[in-house]
């Protein structure tokens, strides 16, 4: 028999028991007078294990579970990704405190029912689990470790979940700093784009303490269809995210070059993309981006060439720090850099195709 634990907004422990994987699950509210012990600060400050009726102190048990069920949540960074993710956490019934530099983003969440913090430290002080969704690794360091940052407000026993596309080293450094305050850090970047954030269909790849990950699944499930625990180091999720981005960008650049070359040979792009999506050349670019964005001329994936270039540079930085040559990675990085210089950083990443069309078109002479 397996059990999962979370805390309701009223402070009651929710125990989900799966007796047999073929049976449905039943959920019970259990008070602290029964066979389960309920810690004083949610499930975040002490150990929790099913206890015999003798009432043993849970702190005597060696296996700790930090729980992130129905708890107070903070969210810092309310952009194209963070805004929808924060809204989903609010819709799931969590008490939410938010912060962003953009007053319009703060107002939108306040109108939806969230409390607005005055600064990152204020958000962290009011939250048992604080989420970050920031543009760069440097922004993560500033928001967490800078003046009025998360580190100056977060309480012992809390959890920090960083969903930023960052470097493994940044996440590891932040985790090391906050460990001194008894704060657990999960590196939990996401994939699925703006549409995935809006539809709560993201994939999240999480690195860090497995027990904390297990207890926080309810939070991840508010915005992600597919949560994965990928390793016990907080930076492991960032490794998988950077590798995923590399494969995505490689597919985008490769598909753009192939379709542009086919057009130069006089072939219909719709027919080519349909064939590619049903054949061994299929990838996300030909299955989704070309038929839904590029061929109709929308070019609106909600992810700029500047961000695309930033992320491929983070991949290259990780490869360099790993002392691993990545020849294709360097080529893809250069092509994205050329496209950004040609079209401007604000252009949508799908407009790489426009650049490729001009790159390989026949010379007029």
Distance from C-alpha of 224 to C-alpha of 269, rounded to nearest angstrom: 33
Pairs from 315-321 (Cβ < 8 Å, separation ≥ 24): 315/242, 315/243, 315/245, 315/246, 317/167, 318/167, 318/168, 318/239, 318/242, 321/167, 321/169
Contact status, residue 66 vs residue 43, Cβ threshold 8 Å: yes
Q: How far is CA 58 from CA 34, 67, 91, 159, in A?
A: 13, 14, 32, 20
CA geometry: angle at 153 spanning 143 and 307, to 5°? 15
Residue 17, strand partner residues? 3, 26
Distance from C-alpha of 281 to C-alpha of 277, rounded to nearest angstrom: 7
The H or E element spanning position 131 is strand 129-132
Give the contacts of 276 (CB within 8 A, at least 6 positions apart): 255, 258, 282, 286
The token pair at 289 is 């981006």
What is the signed CA dihedral for 213, 216, 217, 220, rounded to 10 degrees? -110
Catalytic status, residue 241: yes
For 226, the 3-state DSSP assignment is strand
Contact status, residue 336 vs residue 316, Cβ threshold 8 Å: no
CB atoms within 10 A of CB 161: 27
- Which of 59, 126, 241, 340 is an active site residue? 241
Q: Give the residue carrying structure tokens 């799908």.
A: 350
Contact status, residue 132 vs residue 154, Cβ threshold 8 Å: no
Q: Which residues are catalytic?
A: 241
């Amino acid at each position: 028999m397996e059990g999962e634990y979370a805390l309701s907004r009223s402070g009651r422990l929710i125990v989900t028991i799966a007796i047999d994987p073929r049976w449905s699950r039943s959920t019970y509210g259990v008070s602290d007078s029964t066979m389960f012990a309920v810690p004083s600060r949610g499930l975040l400050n002490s150990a929790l294990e099913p206890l015999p009726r003798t009432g043993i102190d849970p702190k005597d048990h060696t296996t700790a579970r930090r729980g992130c069920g129905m708890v107070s949540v903070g969210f810092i960074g309310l952009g194209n990704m963070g805004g929808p993710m924060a809204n989903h956490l609010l819709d799931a019934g969590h008490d939410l405190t938010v912060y962003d530099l953009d007053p319009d983003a703060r107002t939108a969440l306040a109108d939806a029912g969230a409390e607005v913090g005055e600064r990152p430290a204020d958000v962290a002080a009011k939250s048992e689990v604080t989420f970050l969704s920031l543009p760069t690794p440097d922004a993560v360091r500033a928001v967490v470790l800078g003046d009025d940052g998360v580190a100056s407000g977060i309480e012992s026993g809390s959890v920090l979940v960083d969903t930023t596309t960052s470097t493994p080293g940044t996440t590891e450094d932040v985790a090391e700093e906050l460990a001194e305050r008894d704060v657990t850090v999960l590196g939990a970047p996401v994939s699925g784009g703006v549409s995935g954030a809006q539809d709560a269909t993201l994939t999240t790849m999480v690195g860090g303490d497995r027990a904390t990950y297990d207890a926080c699944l309810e939070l991840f499930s508010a915005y992600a269809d597919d949560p994965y625990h990928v390793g016990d180091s907080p930076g492991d999720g960032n490794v998988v995210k950077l590798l995923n981005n590399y494969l995505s960008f490689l597919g985008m650049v490769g598909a753009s070059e192939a379709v542009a070359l086919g057009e130069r040979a006089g072939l219909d792009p719709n027919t080519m993309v349909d064939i590619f999506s049903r054949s061994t050349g299929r990838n996300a670019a030909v299955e989704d981006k070309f038929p839904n964005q590029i061929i109709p001329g929308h070019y609106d994936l909600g992810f700029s060439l500047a961000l695309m270039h930033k992320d491929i540079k983070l991949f290259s930085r990780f490869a360099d720090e790993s002392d691993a040559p990545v020849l294709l990675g360097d080529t893809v990085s250069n092509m994205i850099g050329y496209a950004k210089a040609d079209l401007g950083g604000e252009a949508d990443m799908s407009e790489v195709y426009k650049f490729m069309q001009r790159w390989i078109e026949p010379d007029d002479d």
